[in-house]
Amino acid sequence: MASGLAPAQMAKGAGQDLVLTDPLTGLGNRRRFFHKVDRLIAERADDPAPFAIAIFDLDGFKPINDLFGRAAGDEILQQVAMRLRAAMDEHSTVTRIGADEFGVLYPMVFSEAAAAGRARVLIEILSAPYHVGDRTARLSASAGCSLFYSEEDTTELLLSKAETALYQAKRSGRGAVAVYTREMEEAAKTVTRMEQALRRAVAAGDVEPHFQPIVDLPSRGVVGFEALARWTDRDLGAVSPSVFIPIAEERGFIGQLSQLVLRKAAEAALDWPEHLHLSFNLSPSQLVDHNTVQQILSILERTGFDPRRLEVELTETGLMNDPASAERIIADLRSAGIGISLDDFGTGQSSLGRLRDFRFDKLKIDRAFVSSLLEDRASEQIVRAILAMAAGLGMDVVAEGIEYEAQADRLIEFGCAGGQGFLFGRPRDAEGTLAYMRDVIPGPMG
Ligand code: C2E
Ligand code: MG
Ligand code: MG
């Protein structure tokens, strides 16, 4: 017997309850959820009324578990369960269907809009702070919903549709709700096809770094290059890194992709003049992976590239997921002589607290501010404030996405030392980069 319980116990009474109950929260478990949905589908077989299910997944539960400890994590899950149960009306049921996943069955919810509305209310309820001992934790949740319309929808299918929707919700950030649509299914399939092609490309070594110059603004002298991953698939054509990097992250092979690109980038950079640095982007998930530092250092060692010429670019999202782990990784990189830059500063989940908690060598001002610098007074003030703050904290600054002379002039006037953008050069492959250097860098290379 799969459950390990005696048949007599399985049959009825307390035994049956145990098999269908989650011991931690006292809610029904995944099996109970399946039973309930199965039963409702049978009941609605001759009845045209639809119904809805929703899956809630806690955002950022793992770091809380790591940070506060398992016992606290358990306590939070119990509080989550209590809140959800208290929010159910007489028809609806909540169950715990995974570690930090909860399934809700809404027999009396008949439309997509109503399902999304219900889910939003629950997310709101789950977002209030949690008190664990004398500490406070904050969580949010994402939800995916699907509706039963006809007998073709089995329990498995409904659940998998809700999961597809949940995946979409998670992609659009924390605390989002999505209801399953057919287009979502198509989008999910496209992602899967792309994932397979990308995995093959990584295995075959077919992802290449291109290099974009970073300059000293007043003199226009090149100080280094940022490596940017490029992938061209035979069928899909050139795919943008802002599309394929997130896929590699979500599907868990960003580590391999990143190692490939770093190895090629470091090899190419061996041919550059010694004073030029190489900037390399790390993904958020690499800052929760304790193998990251070892992998980077061993690549540098094997290629013979001096760690003091490497800078890694991190984003605030990467620091947020698991600050303790990010801090350790940053400290280890720094003690190897690697510089740390904060990328895309000013967008995303910016927090000035981050600048106090972590030490960065460099801030990169996001392109969004630079592109509106000349027209928008707010952007101008923000850029000036960032520059003043960076100076006070002893950090270098690079403004990203400079396309026009007038933008460069204005940035110089504000005291910004570093710049990057199409004005100075687009990303080029290794060979094109050497040619670029012969053109712009005077001296022995010229
Ligand atoms: P990022 O690190 O902020 O890189 C700068 C992006 O801005 C690059 O886009 C670059 O081509 C673009 N850019 C530079 N100057 C200009 C300009 O003047 N105007 C405009 N409109 N755009 C400019 P790209 O190459 O498409 O990369 C997008 C993002 O993908 C990067 O943003 C980075 O977050 C990520 N990425 C790229 N390569 C890698 C990689 O090897 N590993 C990881 N983890 N992420 C990468
Ligand atoms: Mg970058
Ligand atoms: Mg950037």
Instruction: Please tell me whether residues 170 and 231 are part of one structural domain.
Output: no
Residue ranges of E strands in 372-430: 396-399, 418-420
Q: 258: which 2 tokens?
A: 């990143």
Distance 230 CA to ligand 1 centre (A): 10
Residue 48 is predicted with a pLDDT of: 77
Give yes or no for residue 154 having a pLDDT over 80: yes
Give yes or no for residue 444 having a pLDDT over 70: no
- List the residue whose alpha carbon is closest to atom 19 of ligand 1: 401
Q: 13: which 2 tokens?
A: 């009474």
First to last CA, the chain: 77
CB distance 257 to 248 below 8 Å: yes
Number of Cβ within 10 Å of residue 403's Cβ equals 14
What CATH number is attached to the domain comprising 125? 3.30.70.270
Instruction: Please tell me whether residues 303 and 263 are part of one structural domain.
Output: yes
Q: Determine whether the shortest distance from the Cβ of 233 to ligand 1 is under 6 A.
A: no
Among 154, 180, 206, the domain boundary falls at 180
Q: Which residue out of 228, 287, 371, 429 has the highest number of ligand 1 atoms within 8 Å of its CB and is therefore the one to mutate?
A: 228
From residue 342, alpha-carbon distances to 121, 146, 165, 212, 313 in Å are: 35, 39, 32, 17, 6
Number of Cβ within 10 Å of residue 320's Cβ equals 18
Instruction: Please tell me whether residues 113 and 235 are part of one structural domain.
Output: no
Does 49 map to a domain? yes
Instruction: Please tell me whether residues 157 and 225 are part of one structural domain.
Output: no
Q: 285: which 2 tokens?
A: 């998930």
More confident residue, 133 or 37: 37
Nearest Cα residue to 144 out of 112, 191, 99, 192: 112
Does 137 map to a domain? yes
Give per-residue pLDDT as tens, 378-409. Answer: 999 999 999 999 999 999 999 999 999 999 99
Does 3 map to a domain? no
Distance 400 CA to ligand 1 centre (A): 10
Does 78 map to a domain? yes
Distance 407 CA to ligand 2 centre (A): 20
Q: 22: which 2 tokens?
A: 């989650």
Does 9 map to a domain? no
Give yes or no for residue 1 having a pLDDT over 50: no
Among 151, 180, 209, the domain boundary falls at 180
Total tally of structural domains belonging to the chain: 2
Instruction: Please tell me whether residues 103 and 223 are part of one structural domain.
Output: no
Q: 156: which 2 tokens?
A: 């498995």
Find where tokens 């860098």 sit: 441
User: Helical H runs in 128-173?
Assistant: 155-171
More confident residue, 115 or 139: 115
Instruction: Please tell me whether residues 144 and 281 are part of one structural domain.
Output: no
Instruction: Please tell me whether residues 226 and 151 are part of one structural domain.
Output: no
Give the domain extent around 384. 192-440
Q: 367: which 2 tokens?
A: 């392109």
Does 1 map to a domain? no
- List the residue whose alpha carbon is closest to atom 27 of ligand 1: 241
Instruction: Please tell me whether residues 175 and 259 are part of one structural domain.
Output: no
Instruction: Please tell me whether residues 276 and 425 are part of one structural domain.
Output: yes
Among 180, 208, 234, the domain boundary falls at 180
Instruction: Please tell me whether residues 66 and 140 are part of one structural domain.
Output: yes
Residue 9 is predicted with a pLDDT of: 45
Residue 46 is predicted with a pLDDT of: 81
CA distance 83 to 403: 51
Instruction: Please tell me whether residues 173 and 204 are part of one structural domain.
Output: no
Q: Determine whether the shortest distance from the Cβ of 229 to ligand 1 is under 6 A.
A: yes
Instruction: Please tell me whether residues 166 and 242 are part of one structural domain.
Output: no
Q: Determine whether the shortest distance from the Cβ of 55 to ligand 1 is under 6 A.
A: no
Mean of the per-residue pLDDT values for the chain?
92
CA distance 394 to 392: 6
Confidence label for 3 from pLDDT (cuts 50, 70 and 90): very low
Comparing 4-8, 366-370, 404-408, the range with the smallest average pLDDT is: 4-8
Does 7 map to a domain? no
Give per-residue pLDDT as tens, 11-63. Answer: 455 566 778 999 999 999 999 999 999 999 999 888 879 999 999 999 988 87
Q: Which residue out of 215, 278, 281 has the highest number of ligand 1 atoms within 8 Å of its CB and is therefore the one to mutate?
A: 281
